[in-house]
Structure 1
């Protein structure tokens, strides 16, 4: 019976520590997209609230110009 071939030698990457920052979660695609437009979510909620309140108050007032 033939024995399986020996596994290939594992070489240690001398630059692994210097390249580790690329895999950090801060540099993920989601984090980059989230920080691309800071304050956009808050502005969107504030604007939506303004439009809804404005439409409710404008539609609730009777038309005084006949």
Structure 2
């Protein structure tokens, strides 16, 4: 009797419940290169601050 009330389209609609289509997934993957970009920018700033030679200020403004 339970087969009589079973949804024949359930298998075809199962993809809608997949985790990749959840709101949480979209929020987490909204900016895919953001972490890499921020870390590269911080590394560049650190290199600019510590590795480059300091310009000589000869008393000029």
TM above 0.5, one fold? yes
Unaligned stretches of 5+ residues in structure 1: 1-8
Residue 54 of structure 1: how far off its partner (Å): 1.4
Unaligned stretches of 5+ residues in structure 2: none
Instruction: Quote the Cα distance in structure 2 between the aligned partners of 1:30 and 1:52.
Output: 33
- The runs of at least 4 consecutive aligned structure 1 residues that moved more than 3 Å come to none
Q: TM-score, normalised by structure 2?
A: 0.59
Larger radius of gyration: 1
The alignment's C-alpha RMSD in Å is 2.6
Q: TM-score, normalised by structure 1?
A: 0.56
